[in-house]
Structure 1
Amino acid sequence: MTHAMLHRLAPWRTAPRWHVALSGGLDSTVLLHQLATLARTDTFPPLHAIHVHHGLQAAADAWPQHCQRLCDALGVPLTVVRVQVAPGASLEAAARTARYQAFEQALGAGEVLLTGQHRDDQAETLLFRLLRGAGVRGLAAMPEQRALGVGHLVRPLLHISRTQLQAYAQAHHLDWVDDPSNTDTRFARNYLRQDVMPLITGRWPQAAQTLARAASHMAEAQGLLAELAEGDLRAAATPGAFPWLNVPSLELAPLVALSDARQRNALQHWLAGFTRLPDTQHWASWPELRDAAPSATPVWALGDGRLLRAGGRLWWLSELWRAEPQGQVHWPMPAQPLDLPGNGQVRLCGLAPQGRVQVRYRQGGEVMHTPGRGRRDLKRLLNETGLPPFVRGRLPLLFVDGQLTAVANLPAIGGNGVDLRWLPPTNAQRLR
């Protein structure tokens, strides 16, 4: 068991720090004890433990103290993080979300979070997802490693059985806590663990190992699908006409040229960086967006944002794009950059205009004087540029003494020598 774990940890030996997700249960207790013991004779990154307290049951109030005693005995520093679990349909999912948010916030650049999921957990995950009708990505179950914030999540025990962990704990006289909720078979995973898996292993003793191996095969298949998706996306990842937007987008035509299955595969791969992926039923909205009339501006609402079609491209907008800025911002010193509440920053290139300077947003009916064309409606001018509609309500407009003088990042509209540069907010895209 030790050799297998060290083999899987070898690529992470140069990380700045290893964090162990310590629940106090069997799995994480064995993981921490083994690492702390090996660190006495081996060269590891600094070791640190994190205990997340969800506050969902009275029994859990004693677990931070238990974890502290264990860490004190092993000489490992411990951080206890208390989280609030959002109410919802699935308490398990909400607790997991809160837990991993806490882990992500704790990780520094390049640091590694080590968790104690083992082979039996992997088998249960595969079975659970199979019963939910998951595709290849879901049936790959838990990856051995993945990105987590600015660090990495690594599961070094995925090839080790629960029986092996119990044997290690007993041999080293370890104490661990048992979560009372683990026996509540109203939770799907507990039902699989307590009632279903014993029946399966009673008939097929190697079922956990076999199911974990099937998950590994699925992970390999998913890797091949990812390679195919990356090739398909290269053709669609052409630069748009407005690179300053810095909004993820794809050219639609190369995607439409693919088969339906390859379209879904490419989009799943691309969207995975931004949002929770849609289920099978939700994918019915993709053809509606794809096949809408060219003049339409269809929207596909997803878990963490929206996919829009405009100007022959697909655009990903996070939830932060929903609230458009309102009102006006006075600019008393236009020679200096101006921060816009919730909307990035603007600055003027060249000489600052004289007069009362303000930044406003579209309300409708704005007109602008254009050299050689006279007064023109702003809506018509923006239509001529092809600027996607979703940007227009957020686009800063420069007013001098009440007159519309410049439109951010579109100096050709005014043609009067005033160049307003806009840097959209960096958090307008929330990458997962």
Structure 2
Amino acid sequence: MPSLSIPLLQALSPWRNAKAWHVALSGGLDSTVLLHLLVQLRQTHSLPPITAVHIHHGLQAAADGWPDHCQALCDGLSVPLQVIRVQVQAGASVERAARDARYQAFAALIRAEEVLLVGQHRDDQAETLLFRLLRGAGVNGLAAMPRQRRLGAGHLCRPLLDVSRAQLEAYALEQGLGWIEDPSNVQTDFSRNYLRHEVFPVLTQRWPQAAASLARSAAHCAEAQELLDELAQQDLRDAGTVTEFAWLGVPSLELAPIARLSPARQRNALRHWLAAFTQLPDTDHWAGWNALRDAREDAQPVWKLAKGELHRAGGRIWWLSGDWLCPHPAPGVWAQPDQALVLPGNGQVRFVGGIADGPLQVSYRQGGEVMALEQRGHRDLKRLFNERGIPLFARGRLPLLYRNEQLLAVANLNGLDSSPCGRWQLQWLPTSSDQGLS
């Protein structure tokens, strides 16, 4: 058995029971060797079904012939091949846009209990670490490429991260394998190519084990990040108390347990929590968090981030995105109250139990509303909201039920959401789009 097969099999041991292995096949050296090794292994080991996937970016004329090369390789190895063409969005970084398009296609392909195998190797890992170091990345960035992570409904695995490019090339030459050399790989105006062709040769001339040492440093950073994640989870457990407004469907944390932490632990906990929702600012751009945390109790601070906003209300911080940041919804006539009324950009509202007599209209707070309550007389709606501590961001979206000009009910607020005799109750199911809760 070739020497590379043993570490490869060990790296893939957690995935031996997967439903399928998909090999990301560019036609280059690393993916060609990976596919060939797997085909050799399946002759003597029980492995999941193996298929290859080639992503055609269409960025250069030479790439038009690569699917045929990959098809010939797969035919010779008796491996099914799927070719997926993607559209690369124009932007400042062609590399990043192509990568995004590629991994979006992979994520759409991989199903539950399936694994995408990528041929990135130790030299790639070293380049990634150095590239991110020069960009001022933190511990998470310096962990470079993870050996495995979630991808779509399945997982991504990089089983060759302990193997050097020289080892892969030696194997390919020994086995008589041919591979594609991407012409763009020699263009040093791309940052990674500059590191590969201009920087690493100088480093390895002075430090021959530079790539191995850098990859080892990346592994140390990955371990450190695991510890930071564990610490964040502990800190977030203290702040993850249940709120009486959980029905809003808005992610939130209790502020006080977070504010008691040191500034570094605050940032660590929030990075961990917010990572599911948005891109995060670097360490130098957290002034928005400081302002939100330190604002007066009666203030309405907001920290705007890439994909949403962090609000503070009722001693908690709330993550708002999607429809929650759109203009207040428009009122509507409820012509068929026996059916749920869809509120554009604001979920839906329905009756539970009986149905109120019409004609009915659903509207939203404009200011100055008054509601008649049994044994309390007429009460200002603003005061009622204040009494119940309704978060400010939700007040303008709470559906109000009117008959003619009379305010009958406020959805979801106990004592305000039903008829005096309790014959019906008004229930609001807020929008859940783009909240990052799935």
TM-score bracket, shorter-length normalisation = over 0.9
Task: Report the counterpart of residue 352 of structure 1 in structure 2.
Answer: 355
1:330 is displaced (CA, Å) by 4.0
Larger mean CA deviation between 204-213 and 411-420 belongs to: 411-420
1:369–1:414 contact (8 Å) kept in structure 2 = no
Q: Is the 8 A contact 1:117 1:155 kept in 2?
A: yes
> Displacement, 1:64?
2.4
Q: Look up the match of 1:430.
A: 436
* Residue 243 (structure 1) aligns with: 246
Number of residue pairs the alignment of both structures matches: 432
Q: Which residue does 1:14 correspond to in 2?
A: 17
- Which deviates further from its counterpart, 327-336 or 310-319? 327-336
Q: Which moved more, 1:287-296 or 1:341-350?
A: 341-350
Matched position secondary structure for 2:279: coil
What's the offset of the Cα at 1:411? 3.5
Contact 2:398 2:411 in 1 (8 A): yes
Using the alignment, how far apart are the partners of 1:141 and 1:311 within structure 2?
39
Cα displacement (A) at 1:132: 1.3
Match of 1:156 among 156, 159, 175: 159
Distance apart, 1:241 and its partner CA: 2.0
AA partner of residue 21 (structure 1): A
Amino acid at match of 1:116: G
In the alignment, does 2:337 pair up with 1:337? no
Deviations, residues 42-79 of structure 1 (Å, cap 9, x unaligned)? 22222222222222222222222322232233222222
Q: Is the 8 A contact 1:381 1:413 kept in 2?
A: no
Instruction: Flag the 1:394–1:153 CA change in 2: closer, same or farther, 3 A.
Output: farther
Structure 1 residue 402: Cα displacement:
5.0
Deviations 1:189-236 (A, max 9, x none): 111111101110111111100110111111111111111111111111
Per-residue Cα deviation, 1:124-161 (whole angstroms, up to 9, x for no partner) = 11111111111111111111111123211111111111
SS at structure 1 position matched to 2:357: coil
Write the deviation string for residues 312-367 of structure 1: whole angstroms up to 9, x where unpaired: 11112234432246223444432333443343333211101121334333444444
Aligned partners of 1:137 and 1:222 also within 8 Å: yes
SS of 2:407's equivalent?
A: strand
**Can you give the 5+ residue segments of structure 1 that lack an aligned partner in the other structure?**
none
User: 1:78/1:340 Cα in 2 relative to 1: closer, same or farther (>3 Å)?
Assistant: farther
Shift in Å at residue 281 of structure 1? 2.0
Please tell me whether the aligned partners of residues 370 and 415 of structure 1 are also in contact (alpha carbons under 8 angstroms).
Answer: no
Q: Identify the residue that residue 44 of structure 1 maps to in structure 2.
A: 47
Tell me: CA distance 1:401–1:81, structure 2 relative to 1, closer, same or farther (3 Å).
Answer: farther
Deviation by residue 1:159-196 (Cα, 9 ceiling, x = unmatched): 11111111122222222222222111111111111110
1:226 matched residue in structure 2? 229
* Aligned-partner residue type, residue 109 of structure 2: A
1:294-313 aligned at under 5 Å gives the runs: 294-313=297-316
In 2, are the aligned partners of 1:324 and 1:393 still within 8 Å (CA)?
A: no
| Alignment deviations for residues 387-409 of structure 1 (CA, whole Å, 9 cap, x no partner) | 22222333333333454322221
**Could you tell me the TM-score, scaled by structure 2's length?**
0.92
Structure 1 position 119 matched with structure 2 position 122: yes
Q: Unaligned 5+ residue runs, structure 2?
A: none
Q: Secondary structure, in 3 states, of the residue corresponding to 1:103?
A: helix
Distance in 2 of aligned mates of 1:293 and 1:222: 34
**CA separation in 2, counterparts of 1:75 and 1:339?**
53
Q: Give yes or no for the alignment of 1:420 onto 2:426.
A: yes
Question: Cα gap change, 1:318/1:327 in structure 2, threshold over 3 Å: closer, same or farther?
Answer: closer
Percent identity between the two aligned chains: 63
In structure 2, do the counterparts of structure 1 residues 413 and 119 end up closer, same or farther at CA, with 3 Å as the change threshold? same
In structure 2, relative to structure 1, the CA distance for the partners of 1:318 and 1:170 (3 Å cut) is: farther
Q: Write the distance in 2 (CA, Å) between the matches of 1:431 and 1:33.
A: 40
Q: Distance in 1 between matches of 2:437 and 2:174?
A: 44
**Contact 1:348/1:421, CA 8 A, preserved across alignment:** yes
In 2, Cα distance between the equivalents of 1:431 and 1:278? 21
In 2, the alpha carbon distance for the partners of 1:94 and 1:363 equals 44
One-letter identity of the residue aligned with 1:80? V
Query: 1:280 is aligned with what amino acid?
Result: T
1:59 to 49, 59, 62: 62
Does residue 371 in structure 1 map to residue 411 in structure 2? no
Cα distance per residue 1:274-331 (max 9 Å; x no partner): 2222112222322112111111222212222222211111112234432246223444
Match of 1:94 among 97, 101, 118: 97
Distance 1:31 1:342 in 2: 48
Greater mean deviation of Cα atoms: 307-316 or 277-286: 277-286
Q: Indicate conservation of the 8 Å contact 1:48/1:77, yes or no.
A: yes
TM-score normalised according to structure 1 size: 0.93
User: Is structure 2 residue 177 aligned with structure 1 residue 165?
Assistant: no
Report the Cα distance in structure 1 between the residues aligned to 2:362 and 2:429, rounded to whole angstroms. 14
One-letter code of the match for 2:436? R
Q: Per-residue deviation at 1:123?
A: 0.5
Partner residue of 1:109 out of 98, 109, 112: 112
CA contact (8 A) 1:411 1:420 kept: no
The 8 Å contact of residues 22 and 49 in structure 1, kept in 2 or not, is answered as yes
Q: The residue matched to 1:175 in structure 2 has which SS?
A: coil
| Contact 2:329–2:346 (8 Å) recurs in 1 | no
What is the CA-CA distance between 1:414 and the residue it aligns to?
A: 4.8
Residue 186 (structure 1) aligned to one of 183, 186, 189: 189
Could you tell which deviates more after superposition, 360-369 or 198-207?
Answer: 360-369
The amino acid across from 1:302 in the alignment is: L
Following the alignment from structure 2 to structure 1, what is the Cα–Cα distance between the partners of residues 120 and 24? 10
Alpha-carbon distance between aligned partners in 1 of 2:150 and 2:292, rounded to the nearest angstrom: 31
Q: Deviations over 1:89-112 (max 9, x none)?
A: 222222222222221111212221
Separation in structure 2 between the aligned mates of residue 332 and residue 256 of structure 1, nearest angstrom: 48
The aligned residue for residue 38 of structure 2 is 35
Q: Is the 8 A contact 1:146 1:153 kept in 2?
A: yes
CA contact (8 A) 2:417 2:426 kept: no
Q: Quick one: which amino acid aligns to residue 49 of structure 1?
A: A
